[in-house]
Structure 1
Amino acid sequence: MDLAAIIVLAYGLYYRRHHRRDLLFAYVALNVGIFAVVSLLLVQRVDIAVGFGLFGVLSIIRLRSSEITQQEIAYYFVAIVLGLVNGIASGFPLTALLLDGVLLGVMFIADHPSLLGRTRHQVVTLDVVHSDPDLLRVDLESRLRARVLHCVVTQIDYVRDVTVVDVRYAAPKSRARVR
């Protein structure tokens, strides 16, 4: 059941929507590893110190990638939880199946492209420094060809005349091509 759940999460939901092959493998490997460890801990009686040691090892693992979003961290978390649920509830298959279904259903809906699909995030480096926030917004909207929802200046370099801005914007509706 765990393999079916992680395949649906990693291949069916994540990869089809986000197309990051490196994280796809990480989700599957992490899930299977967690499932194996939890299954072993349930079969073999161990001291509570081993549980704390496992927690310590998992807490020092850093999510290393070129760039990882909060959305991708959520997929990591669900991959871990699926492994834990299926390992712990292996004696109660209906409970595990129900919890798997709830977790996968929530991820399907929460990350569905039609829910918040037009909202975008980008870090923009401008070749100008704006002293007026309204002019900055107008410049960003002109360059992005979209309505700026929120922007935060993260860096200003007066020597090189550069501004780095973290921008949230609503992407314009795509127009159908006329042939």
Structure 2
Amino acid sequence: MISQLVLFAIDICAVALLVFGLYFPRHRRRDLVVAYLGVNIGVLAVASALSASNVGAGLGLGLALFGVLSIIRLRSTELDQHEVAYYFSALALGILGALSTTSVYLSGGLMGLILVVMFLGDHRRLLRNYRHQILVLDSAITDHYVLVAHLEQLLNARVHAVTVQRLDMVNETTVVDVRYAMSEGGLTAEPATPAHSGAHR
């Protein structure tokens, strides 16, 4: 019982560090703060109750995973991949906090590992040169090499991958999904949007 309470305390500290120490200072989405805290505490409560009953823990964890996946899949607002990663981190912390069959040191160490991975994986200095944008160009470009050259000149960066999402020959527009790397001199600010092109992250 005491070890279970210790795990609960470690989980609360870990999710608070994940949300208020890592996620919110870096991404500033207040609505997801509530979501991450709710997912963590909800999974912690459900998994703890199931582990104390005759219901199989595997079934309970499976239902918890299904619920979170449904929330992510049926979301009404757009989530980036790093935000999905924070969802699963909050979920994993809650599950580890409810596993009374493992030692406090093992569960605590795994929680710490999750926090370290998220700290490093979502760090601004990691692959900071790389960008991803969807651009609306004010011309219809059918040649791939011409398109890449045009994007590199437009973004002042090296283009690594381009996917044409829509080519409108009537209105002369091209919608492209472009992944590129900024030069070291271009890291001081995001690339400016041209006067006749639309862009969003």
TM-score (normalised: structure 2): 0.77
Q: Find the counterpart in structure 2 of residue 112 from structure 1.
A: 123
User: Which residue of 110, 129, 147 maps to 1:99?
Assistant: 110
* Equivalent pair of 1:89/1:96 in contact (CA under 8 Å): no
User: Which residue of 21, 25, 32 maps to 1:12?
Assistant: 21
Give, in angstroms, the shift of residue 172 of structure 1.
3.2
Q: Find the counterpart in structure 2 of residue 129 from structure 1.
A: 140
TM-score (normalised: structure 1): 0.86
2:79 maps to 1:60 = no
* Equivalent pair of 1:89/1:95 in contact (CA under 8 Å): no
Give, in angstroms, the shift of residue 72 of structure 1.
1.4
Q: Find the counterpart in structure 2 of residue 36 from structure 1.
A: 45
Q: Distance in 2 between matches of 1:168 and 1:162?
A: 19
* Equivalent pair of 1:90/1:96 in contact (CA under 8 Å): no
Aligned residues: 176
Q: Find the counterpart in structure 2 of residue 74 from structure 1.
A: 85
User: Which residue of 3, 8, 12 maps to 2:12?
Assistant: 3
- Percent sequence identity is 40
Give, in angstroms, the shift of residue 55 of structure 1.
5.2
Q: Name the Cα RMSD after superposition.
A: 2.4
The residue identity in structure 1 corresponding to 2:167 is I
Moved over 6 A (4+): none
Give, in angstroms, the shift of residue 53 of structure 1.
5.1
Structure 2 portions without partners, runs of 5+: 1-9, 190-201
Give, in angstroms, the shift of residue 49 of structure 1.
9.8
- SS of the residue 2:159 aligns to: strand
Deviations 1:130-157 (A, max 9, x none): 1221211122122222221211111111
- SS of the residue 2:164 aligns to: strand
Matches within 5 A, 1:168-179: 168-173=179-184, 174=187
- SS of the residue 1:113 aligns to: coil
